[in-house]
Amino acid sequence: MSEENENPVYRKINVPTQYRQAAKILQQVSEGKSLKDLVYNNKHIRVGTTIAMLNKIQANERQLDQIIGKTDILQKIPNKYLATYLVAELIFGRGELSGFSKPVECVRSYHDQLKEALLDLGEAPKLHTNLYHKVPRYVRLNTLLMKKAEAMEYFEREGWRYIENTFETYEEFLESVRNLDDESYLSDFHIKNLFVFPPSSKKYFASNELAAEGKFLLQDKASCLPSFLLNPPHKSTVLDMCSAPGNKTTHLAAMMKNKGKIYAVEMNTRRYNTLVEMTQATNATIIQTINRDVLEIKDEDVPNVEYILLDPSCSGSGIANRSMSDTHKDLSRLYKLSGLQFKLLSHAMISFPNVTRIVYSTCSIYPEENEEVVMSCLSKIGNFRLVNAGEILNNKWKNYGNEKSYPGIGQNVLYASNDDDCSDLTNGFFVAVLEKFDGLNEFYLQKQQNISAFSEKFGKRKTEVTGEENPDENNEKPVKKKKKWINKCYQ
């Protein structure tokens, strides 16, 4: 036997090109790029097969998240996009994988466990989704610089056709949006001066001259809801606690017709500069920008505040082009974020005596940042209550909070959804509306009742030895000096 045969050379087996290229496309789609463009411009993959499978992955994203989470596949395959594609091919596709590379063999070894996890979910996989093209291009007209009639004349000159229709139901409107062709647009069902264009128009508006001049704001509908629901009248005083980049702040200024006062606070210097640029570009003259930590802002710094908008830093889990990259909750980060959100909302409710209405919103779909923050604040501060946000929209909305898990909260708060089953054709979003009133809310009363019951049961318990009540109550204990809380959660 020759020496060559005695010492064979083992070569690394590469992942098949189809899988590598499809995983690369999956990653680029998660960053907001067009699925169709990526697939059709790639010469190394099977177009029909790849589009079908990537559609299926997007349609079953949550299921895949749960299924993969029950294994340690991601610990063995660092490229999560490759792992996701291989798992989807195995359990949603052909049921088998090609080749003998290490990632392929790894996923193949989990075949039975993955199938069992799929059965445990009790849900049949969806066949496809239109997530990559279903969110249209929303364009908010800046009425401080341009009238609606002027904007529509401009669109007509540019070759756009306006669909004029009075929709009786919200579902009729959504169906019309889904069926928009590449040359048509319409007005939004809820938000005044918000236009809806087809997804194919996104490149057009990205380089549009009027958008560059601040006359058009490229703002998702869900992001317009907080200002719309706050609805401050002309000449009122508003505090926007976390203002940058300024879309919601300038929306408020337009709603108020530049009459009144808006204090716009942003702590981060870079984001503050962006806020200043936007307020100047949009001619929002009633906005006074403040480069400070809003937790240090007191009533005397922003006198006579009546309305507060709070859209704090959050996980961003509702944003469509992040949905594939955030496949697992970062519980540690959520804990820190919800702590900051609680401090900010509590500050809004306590520190400004003239406030009558507060809107709290996030671009998150996680209840830890939404219902739980609102419930915690209402339990602590009694003289605020939730307003039914759906009623403000004349009950013409599809998605609300979870009333079963958060009774008294869920039915009163809104979610905007990009889920296929109940889509609002927007990014994911959460909005709660709170108002000050003379009574005490149910969550505060329940907490006080619980405290009283606990005190009655344990606070005056006699000791078996002395028979005295609370023998240590007069023994003074040294008071620990509290450390000043440092805000490290701003993004």
Average pLDDT over residues 345-362: 98
Q: How confident is the model at residue 123 (pLDDT cuts 50, 70, 90)?
A: low
- pLDDT classification of 464: cutoffs 50, 70, 90: very low
> What SS3 class is residue 197?
strand
What is the 8-class DSSP label of residue 300?
T
Cα(122)–Cα(144) distance, integer angstroms: 52
239 has pLDDT over 90: yes
What's the rounded Cα separation, in Å, for the pair 193 and 148?
Answer: 7
| Cα–Cα distance for residue pair 273/10, rounded to 1 Å | 57
pLDDT at 166: 84
Kindly list the distances between the CA atom of residue 38 and the CA atoms of 33, 137, 307, 334, 364, in Å, as whole numbers in the listed order: 8, 20, 45, 33, 28
- Does the annotation count 363 as an active-site position? yes
Q: Whole-angstrom Cα distance, residue 291 to residue 132?
A: 37
Mean pLDDT of the chain: 86
Percent with pLDDT over 90 in the chain: 56
Catalytic pick among 224, 314, 363, 377: 363
Mean pLDDT, residues 306-324: 81
- As a whole number, mean pLDDT of residues 294-308 equals 97
Residue-level pLDDT at 231: 97
Q: Which two tokens stand for residue 104?
A: 């392929």
Range scoring the smallest mean pLDDT among 40-44, 346-350, 360-364: 40-44
pTM of this prediction? 0.69
Count other Cβ atoms within 10 Å, centred on residue 268. 16
Select the more confidently predicted residue: 74 or 341. 341
pLDDT value of residue 482:
58
Residue numbers belonging to the annotated binding site: 242-248, 266, 293, 311
Q: Which residues are annotated as a binding site for S-adenosyl-L-methionine?
A: 242-248, 266, 293, 311
Question: What is the reported pLDDT for 484?
Answer: 57
